[in-house]
Amino acid sequence: MGKYVILNDDNFEQEVIKSDIPVLIDFWAEWCMPCKMIAPIVEELAEEFDGKLKVGKLDVDSNPKVSMQFGIRSIPTLLLFKSGQPVDQIIGAVPKKAILQKILPHIES
């Protein structure tokens, strides 16, 4: 199990908006096959960037408030937050390289 955080409507502000490091959120659902394909990559990123990037998973079925707030219409969607604001997003099951290209500019080395 990776070092990711399970996000929900209740802890979202504390874990994401108030985070002092960038946060990558995986919006997913149990029934979504592409979500299951991308999950191991997301968990790897949580391990690799521990301390530099917070990685969270948010089940869209259980947490409609946050999903609606950020206009999540298709899953999987990865949303990258920095200083409490969404700065980038990736929609669909993409290779790890594509995710790295989006997140690396936002992570301090």
- Give the whole-angstrom CA distance, residue 94 versus residue 65: 25
Q: For the whole prediction, is pTM greater than 0.85?
A: yes
- Give the whole-angstrom CA distance, residue 15 versus residue 21: 10
For 11-58, write each residue's pLDDT tens digit. Answer: 999 999 999 999 999 999 999 999 999 999 999 999 999 999 999 999
- Give the whole-angstrom CA distance, residue 77 versus residue 71: 10
For 63-78, write each residue's pLDDT tens digit. Answer: 999 999 999 999 999 9
**Residues with a known catalytic role:** 32, 35
Q: What is 63-86 written as a DSSP string?
A: -HHHHHHTT--SSSEEEEEETTEE
In the chain, the domains with their CATH numbers are 5-106 (3.40.30.10)
